[in-house]
Each structure stands twice: as structure tokens, then as C-alpha cells.
Chain A
Amino acid sequence: MWIKMLRWGLFMMIIGMIVIIPNACQNDEDGDLPIVLENLPYDNLSDYQFFTGDMSDLMPADRVLPYDLNTPLFSDYAQKARFIWIPKGRTATYSDHDAMDFPLGTIIIKNFYFDNDFTNPSQGRRILETRLLVKQDTAWQPISYVWNEAQTDAEFSLVGGDILVDWTHYDGTERSTYYHIPNRNECTGCHNLDNVLLPLGPKARNLNKDYDYEDGTMNQLDKWVEMDYLQNVPGIGSRPRAAVYDDPAEELNFRARTYLDVNCGHCHNPLGPAKNTGLTLTIEEMDSYTLGICKPPIAAGQGSGGLQFGIVPGEPENSIMHYRMNSTELDVMMPELGRSVNHDEGIQLIYDWIAQLEGDCN
């Protein structure tokens, strides 16, 4: 097996010699990052030059734009620092519903880290991994980097792994878990619509919020337009918006449905990997049975927990949805990837939501 890798390595070197050098000069002139798509994945995250100064500060280079989401996907309480870079001269096209239509060369950069003390971020942090989604040709490629202990750089990884992390939680308790860095194949376990790999986060509704940029606060979609990163964006009143799941000022149903959409809807989707279950949890699903209300499971195995229905209105304790969110057993828990601890706040939200649903299943 190593022979093939050696051959690849040789060709990468040859192509690198031919392509990198002239391109690097060219890119210096127009002030953009010297990234050559054909040479990816680079061995180290630093090779992309996304960040300036100390790598671990994650200070973005010019045109590497930070962004945030109204409601993020839960990943074992890992915090995420997100950035996007689009090569100069190219622009994404706005989509009201799906991920934006990004141009060739777009790179979405997501850094996963744990503050040592969630109640006091000044106590430092540990960056675990950086995941890139790169628009190469017409397809997205997932590329993962695992950070070193010294936090000076991150190295390309195909196979990921499990890393023991510990932190002081919001409630002051000491927590730890084996954080799972997905392998290349596991990326498509979530980033998959009709067997095409796609970004999940950067959708209009989830980007539609203010962000505190270096030069002031601005709606993210407006900033993207200003940067020439995005075109055809409707006026601010005509953009969809996702709920902030943990903002009690927002309506409970909106928060719960947004939470399910973001954390479950990429699989539980008529075109997603969990389509075999007949359970759809996207924000636009309006059929109560398909949403799980009084729906018996199809292939839940242990996941049923002895319960009959996905959701029993008014009875969260008797709802499989709540049972599976509230478990860390491998063959019970949902989502089945990217989580080894319970998301207490999400579980409480779904509990409250089911508790106030009206009706019964008999």
C-alpha cells in the first residue's frame, strides 16, 4: 500500500515544483492567499496561510472572513471558530434555502477547540482540529488537520482519531471525554444530500445575524456582499432567519424546530443518510407523522428504549426522540456521530417543546 502513496508523493512534489512557485509570486501581487487547488491537501494547516501571527491565536489573514451561526451543530461542547475564504474575483450566489452556491476554490474553515474553563475563557484553550471544505472542480472535498500539543500547527489526517479532552464546564464541574475526530468517510455521514457532499452551516437563515467585525458590527450577509463574497442577496426584510436555540426570548417551537433542523435535519431529510427511517426533521417539514409525532420507529433497535413513538405529545419521557438525545450509548444515541456527551441544553429544549405539544397517540 505504501508504494502507491510514495508514487502520489512523488507526483505531488513534481506538480508542486511546477505550479507552486510561479503561483506564489502571482498571488503575492494581488494580495490573496497563495493556495493552489491541485496541490491540496497540504501537509500542514500553516501552508494555507489562513492565519497571521501565532497560529493558535487564529487571527485571520486579509480576506479570510470570520462568521458565526444563529444555531450551531452540537459537537461535544467543542467551540468553533469559523472562517471562509473565496479567491479574489469570484463570488457565491445567494440561496434562500440551501447552502449558498459557492464558486471554485472556496474554502470553509472550521476550528474546533475547548476553552480550559468555560466560565473563564482567559484561562486558555486547546485547539483540537481544523476541518476544511474545499470546492474543488464541482465537488466539495473534506480535508482535516489535527493540531499538535504545542498548538503551533496542525497536520493533515485521513483517519482522525479519539482525543481525551478535559475542561471546566459552565456549571463549574470538571468534565472530560474522548473527542472523536472523524475520518474522511465519516464526513459524508452528515455532509450528504442525495450522496453529494455539501456544507451544512452557511445557509442564509443561519448566517442572517450581526457579527462584531474588526471594523464594526454588521449583518453577516451584508458583510459578505461588501466583500464581494456573495451576490443576489435580497433586502434585509426578505431573508429567512433561523432561531437562536438558547435565546429564551424566541418562541419555543421556533427554537426547537431550528435545533432539530440544524442537529438532525441533514440526515433526517428525504435526501439524507437517514431517509430510510421515514423521519424528517428539517425546518420545513409540516407533516406531524413524518416529524415523528405518534410514529413508530422503523429500525431503531435499542434506540426505541421500549417506547412506542418518536414523539408522544405532552410526554417527553415517553418519546423516543428525547430518549435517544439523552443517551451516550453507541447504539441508542442520536445523533450517532460527533457526540459522546449529552447536550443538556438541547435535551431540555426538546423536553420543553414535547411537553407543550397537544394531542395523544391513541
Chain B
Amino acid sequence: MIKFRNLLGLLAIVAIAISSCKDDTPEDTSTTYTFEASTATQADVQEAMILFEDGDKIVFGPGTFTFTSTLSVDSKTNLVIEGAGMNETILDFTDQISGAEGIKITNSDMVLMNGFTVQNAEGDGIKATDCEGITFYQVGAVWTGDVSQDNGAYGLYPVLCKHVNIDDCYVRGASDAGIYVGQSEFIHVKNSRVEENVAGIEIENSKFSEVFNNTAMNNTGGILIFDLPGLTLVNGNHHRVYNNTLSSNSHPNFAPAGNIVGSVPSGTGIMILAAKEVEVFNNTITNNNVMGIGVISYNVVAALGGLTWEDENYIPYCEQIHIHDNTMSRTNDLPTEQTDMGNFLVAFYSDGDLPHFIYDGWENPDLAGANVLCIENQANEDFVDLNADAGFALNEDVTPYLCQHERLSETSINAPTP
């Protein structure tokens, strides 16, 4: 509040005046709000999140804290929220009666979350909007028990943010995407583990991302790079996806119908949907038996899902997709439950012997050759062009797409580090 700021300013002036009489070191006026699991209440924690001033810290001790409403933070800078560790400090929302997130952070800059897990949030685990410089370091978002479509949609959910840093995090059980970065720019998602979500990691309608050193196991799809119509940021581009381990992503798709990830086939390693400038390299992609790497236009998703769109700025095609130096292996074991799109693909290969690369072949008529799709230095180049725009006349000849392409530049970010 303005009044508080004014008073704090006054206080600072007085404090400096006094301290300068004594010595030259200014008094540290920052506050650490410390909470213990045995005594903390929703009101105490929420009050700290409101009173918080630049330079303060909110610290949770070890143990399980129970909350019944969203904890919200608005319009703060240099915010630090930390726990005693991802497995030590659990913020539990099982009994939530108000709010659609566990933690909601809005319009705040240079935010550091470090060392805690949000558990069983009614909606999303941690949602952050309109933030610049936001770090999730060793932060978990989990839904316990059997996974279900009643679980929250997103685990870690920065949207409309700039300079996003998700490092060494863990998400399990999200009914949409475990780690979801939407409509954002300058993004690192790294060193994280995602399991038993519909999408492990999803980067949607965003620009300049680095997705690396992550492990995605037993999700429906491991990593998704999507671009959808009808949003302010469309035609996102410049994504580097590398050094990730994607294994056995064959969980049944449990997204509520109507959501775009609900169409992702069970058995997907990496799916690129209508994205531009994506470089996928040095990943280990094992036993994602339906679509090891898929390069798909929005036209196909729309046609299979009965969708139309009106967005004259939106380009529904994949462009400048560069795939190289990935290690891929698979078996012919198919997931037991499948989505419509998955069934559609599997129908072409009833023996289960799908190629590693699935390309729908519906190309921007203004582009050709390396500007569409480039596959380079892959030990195993099993490939199919579905020719979705030409009556699905399948063509398994990869030769037209074997080419070299310049590498994308690395994206650096400016977000807090612990």
C-alpha cells in the first residue's frame, strides 16, 4: 500500500539518519517471515504475502502446512519464498475451499521460489502471470494417489511472463501439463523430472526457450512445443530442446475432453504442433512407441477434433524444424488406451511398427525444403510423411527431409538464482 511504502520510506530516512550518527553501515530493514508447520495459519501466511516489501523473505520450515484457500501474491519485487527442501516442506491444499490455484503470483518481478512442494491443489499448483524474472528452483507440484482427470490442470504454470527459470523441479499427476509455460518469452526449463502427467513439459505460444536436461517418464506425452490460434502471442518461435531423456511416455491420456492436450497420443516422446524455429537434438528418446517425434500442423488437429479457427495472424504450420543427433529406440508394444489421434496413427501400422518420426506433411505453401523440416545425423531415420493434405498417401522416404540447417542461438535469461 502507498501509505505503508511512504511510512517505510520515512522510516528508512530516520533509520539512516540515526545510524549515520553511529557508523557508516545502513541498518538492514528487511524482514524474514518465518513459519512453522505446527503453528502457521492461512491468515498469517497470507498476511505476510501482503505486507511483504522489497528485500523481505518468506520462509517455511520443514513439515506439512495445510491451507484452505489460494495463497496470493500481487505486485511485488524481489520476492523470495523458500522452504526447507522439495521433499521436506509440503504446502498441502487437499482441503481447499476457495481459489483455483495453490499459489497465485501476479504482476511481480524477480520472484524466487525455492525448496518446497505444493500438494493436491484444487486447480493449478503454482500459477504466475505477468511476471518478469521468475524462478522455480527445486519446487514440486504433485497430486497424490491414483492420477485422475479430477487432478489440477497445471503443476508449475507461468503464463504471460518474461525470463522464466524452472530448474530441478518435479511434477506428478497434472491432468494437463506438469510444467506449462504459456505466452511467455525467454524461458529455461531444465534439470527437472515430470512423471504421470498428461503432458510432461509444454511450451505453448512462447518465444525463446531452452528445454534441456529434463527427464520425462510415463506421461502421455513427454515434451510438447505447441502453438495455438486466437491468442495475443501467436507464431511463437526459437525453441531449443536438447539433452532430455524421454522414456516410456505411454500413460493413458486423462485430460478432460475439450483440452488440446486431450488429443495427444499415448506413446508420444516429443510433439511439435504448429511451432516455428524448433531445434531438437541430443535427446534420448526410448520406448515412446506411437510418436517418438511428431511434427504436426494445427490443420490436422483441427480436422480430427472438428475445430475451426478465426485468426488471420496465425500460421497453422510447423516451420523451420531441425532435428538432429537424437538417440531413439522403440518396441512394437502399443499403449493399451489411446486417443482419437493415436488410434488414427496406429491404424496405419496395425503391427505396431510405427516409425520414429511422424510428420503430417501439411506444409505452409509459401515454404519449402530446409525451411520446413530438416532431419540430420540421426542413426535411425525411420520416417513417415502422412501427406495429410493429400489424402493420407503415406510416404516413408525420408530423403527429401535429410538436410543441414543452421543452429539456433542460445537464449539467456535474467531471473533470480538461489
Contact = CB atoms under 8 A, between A and B. Distances in A.
B7 A330 contact: no
B107 interface: yes
B129 A273 contact: yes
Given A38-B6, A276-B183, A299 B176 contact: yes
A178 B233 CA distance: 38
Contacts of A346: none
B97 interface: yes
Given A41-B3, A136-B2, A11 B11 contact: yes
B257 interface: yes
A219 B155 CA distance: 51
Contacts of A295: 230, 309
A251 interface: no
Interface stretch (B44-52, B83-91, B388-396): B44-52
B31 A188 contact: no
B2 A162 contact: no
B99 interface: yes
Interface string A166-207: 000000000000101001111011000001000000000000
B106 A273 contact: yes
A3 B7 CA distance: 14
Contacts of A309: 258
B75 A302 contact: no
Contacts, number: 173
A12 B3 CA distance: 9
B150 A1 contact: no
9 contacts: A141-B3, A161-B43, A180-B69, A184-B1, A195-B130, A275-B160, A275-B232, A289-B311, A309-B258
B11 A297 contact: no
Contacts of A41: 1, 3
Interface in A123-153: 136-137, 139, 141
Interface string B115-141: 000000011100001100000000000
B43 A297 contact: no
Interface string A317-333: 00010000000001100
A40 interface: yes
A1 to B, nearest CB: 5
B306 A336 contact: no
Given A8-B7, A159-B47, A188 B309 contact: no
A5 B8 CA distance: 10
Contacts of A300: 153, 256, 258-259
B130 A12 contact: no
A362 interface: yes
Question: Chain A CB within 10 Å — which of B51, B228, B309 has the most?
Answer: B51
Contact of B258 (A1, A12, A297): A297
Interface of B: 1-4, 6-8, 10-11, 29, 31, 33, 43, 46-51, 53, 68-69, 72-75, 96-100, 106-107, 122-124, 129-130, 149-150, 152-154, 159-160, 175-176, 180, 182-183, 228, 230-232, 256-260, 305-311
A295 to B, nearest CB: 6
B257 A302 contact: no
Interface string A30-61: 00000000111100000000000000000000
Question: Chain A CB within 10 Å — which of B98, B180, B183, B260 has the most?
Answer: B98
Interface in A1-42: 1, 3-5, 7-8, 11-12, 15, 38-41
Given A38-B6, A304-B257, A331-B122, A162 B232 contact: no
B230 A330 contact: no
A216 B180 CA distance: 57
Nearest to B309: A289
Given A336-B123, A340-B98, 15 more contacts: A8-B8, A11-B10, A12-B7, A38-B3, A162-B97, A178-B97, A183-B72, A185-B49, A270-B232, A295-B230, A296-B260, A301-B175, A302-B256, A330-B97, A362-B306
A298 B259 CA distance: 7
A185 B73 contact: yes
Contacts of B154: 299, 301
A234 interface: no
Contact of B160 (A141, A270, A276, A331): A276
A289 B308 CA distance: 9
A308 B160 contact: no
Contacts of A95: none
Given A162-B97, A299-B153, A301-B124, A308 B11 contact: no
A116 interface: no
Contact of A305 (B97, B230, B258, B307): B258
A308 B124 CA distance: 21
B298 to A, nearest CB: 11
Contacts of A178: 97-98
B150 to A, nearest CB: 7
Contacts of A136: 2-3
Interface string A259-296: 00000000000100101101000000001111000111
Nearest to B7: A11
B230 A289 contact: yes
Contacts of A81: none
Given A273-B129, A295-B230, A330-B122, A307 B258 contact: yes
Given A289-B309, A330-B122, A306 B231 contact: no
Given A4-B31, A276-B160, A308-B307, A185 B50 contact: yes
Contacts of A236: none
Contacts of B153: 299-302, 331
A188 B107 contact: yes
A214 B160 CA distance: 49
A96 to B, nearest CB: 25
A38 B2 CA distance: 9
A308 B305 contact: yes
A227 interface: no
Contacts of B99: 330, 336-337
Question: Chain B CB within 10 Å — which of A1, A273, A287, A289 has the most?
Answer: A1
A12 B11 CA distance: 11
